């Protein structure tokens, strides 16, 4: 398929969210019930105890931010496909890239269909130590469950650790329509940046490697339209999100 041009872009997002948002003293997660280290470590040990295949090899399946910001050492990366799961914006984000008053929506693997992404083989001899930081990063918000999935690659299938939506959790937003998702992503911005930036980075990473995801493609076009409409409605160069932005950091996932 020939290269496609994205409608959403960094300049448009910057006009809609010109100022970083700082938290109000509660941290970038605000009042999110973040998982403590002891619980996270216990869950990691339980997951590793169930790991199939060679104990000296650990693969991780990436479909969102881990595609463009892995933050772990890896010795190999393969394009991969998992079946029975699809990529969707289905987790509320009331911190980090959203706020309690203006929540965003984040990606997860939800049931059904299939998903193309990357399979990373973690580097190093102590695989628990290597995977622990990304485990903490993904699991602390209590939106995901860890699953061992079969990742199909050109070199053959590998068992890969994946983070799928916790459908029983209070963050699950699987019934939102595409229009509602686009509304939230266009409006939301938190201490680590706009939700639209997360969408842009993910769809750009997919497109760069020939992964054409219909949900991501539809979302970037809808979000770009929402932002353009907001900018036109205010008849000015910028739009402020709620709550009122203050100086702070926009880095992160």
Q: Looking at the annotation, which residues are catalytic?
A: 138
Q: Identify the bridge partners of residue 161 per DSSP, sorted by sequence position.
A: 60, 148
Task: Return the residue matching tokens 């399979």.
Answer: 119
Q: Identify the bridge partners of residue 78 per DSSP, sorted by sequence position.
A: 119
Q: Identify the bridge partners of residue 89 per DSSP, sorted by sequence position.
A: 107
Query: Residue 114: which of 207, 47, 213, 204 has the closest Cα?
Result: 213
The distance of Cα 103 from the centroid of its chain, to the nearest Å, equals 14
Tokens of 124: 């190093």
Q: Which residues contact 210 (CB under 8 A, 6 or more apart)?
A: 1
Q: Which residues contact 214 (CB under 8 A, 6 or more apart)?
A: none
Q: What is the CA radius of gyration of the chain?
A: 18
Q: CA angle at residue 170 from 40 to 187, to 5 degrees?
A: 105
Query: Residue 200: which of 1, 16, 2 has the closest Cα?
Result: 16
Tokens of 92: 């509320």
SS3 127: helix
List, in sequence order, the alpha helices (H) in 55-126: 65-68
Q: How does strand 144-151 pair with strand 158-165?
A: antiparallel
């Amino acid at each position: 398929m020939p290269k496609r041009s994205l409608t959403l872009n960094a300049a448009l997002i910057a006009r809609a969210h010109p100022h970083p948002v700082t938290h109000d003293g509660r941290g970038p997660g605000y009042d999110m019930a973040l998982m403590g280290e002891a619980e996270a470590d216990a869950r990691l040990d339980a997951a590793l105890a169930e790991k199939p295949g060679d104990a000296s090899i650990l693969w991780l399946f990436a479909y969102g931010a881990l595609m463009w910001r892995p933050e772990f050492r890896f010795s190999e990366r393969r394009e991969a496909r998992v079946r029975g799961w699809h990529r969707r914006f289905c987790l509320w984000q009331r911190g980090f890239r959203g706020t309690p008053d203006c929540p965003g929506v984040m990606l997860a693997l939800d049931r059904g269909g299939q998903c193309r992404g990357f399979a990373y083989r973690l580097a190093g001899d102590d695989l628990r130590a290597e995977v622990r930081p990304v485990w903490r990063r993904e699991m602390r918000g209590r939106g995901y469950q860890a699953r061992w999935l079969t990742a199909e690659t050109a070199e053959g299938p590998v068992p890969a650790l994946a983070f799928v939506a916790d459908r029983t959790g209070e963050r699950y937003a699987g019934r939102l329509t595409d229009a509602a998702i686009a509304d939230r992503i266009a409006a939301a911005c938190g201490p680590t940046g706009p939700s639209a930036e997360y969408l842009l980075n993910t769809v750009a990473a997919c497109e760069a490697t020939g992964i054409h995801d219909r949900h991501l493609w539809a979302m970037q076009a809808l979000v770009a339209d929402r932002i353009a409409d907001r900018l036109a409605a205010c008849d000015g160069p910028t739009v402020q999100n709620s709550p009122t932005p203050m100086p702070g950091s926009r880095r992160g996932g």
